[in-house]
Amino acid sequence: MQQIIHYSFHFIVPVFIALLLYRQHWVKAYGILLLTMMVDADHVLATPVYAAWRCSIGFHLLHSYPAIVIYILLLFFRPARLVAIGLLWHMATDYMDCLLQMVYCK
Ligand SMILES: [Zn+2]
């Protein structure tokens, strides 16, 4: 169930973000939001590459707190704003996963 929620937040909620913020070009905006999923490429630097129990936030390079601060700063630059929104939504989704793990793994 947690996986369904996680991937729904990664793939379905961005449709609504795109429709809400970029109604006329929502398909392109949705595509850009999906491309921000490439931030998970930093997982290949970890061993093992995927671990269901691991919290990505604060562990992987592009999911680190300094990286998140940079994503927040990118919100203030219009050309990068949509990418920043996608990255921050990704971080929020991953963080929700961490919170669920903390609740259910106690
Ligand atoms: Zn991630």
Distance 77 CA to ligand 1 centre (A): 23
Distance 22 CA to ligand 1 centre (A): 24
Lowest mean pLDDT among 14-18, 29-33, 53-57, 100-104: 100-104
Q: In the predicted model, is pLDDT for residue 106 greater than 70?
A: no
Q: Does pTM surpass 0.85?
A: yes
Residue ranges making up the domain that contains 72: 2-104
Distance 90 CA to ligand 1 centre (A): 6
CB contact burial 79-100 (16+ within 10 A = b; e otherwise): eeebbbbbbbbbbebbbebeee
Domain count, the chain: 1
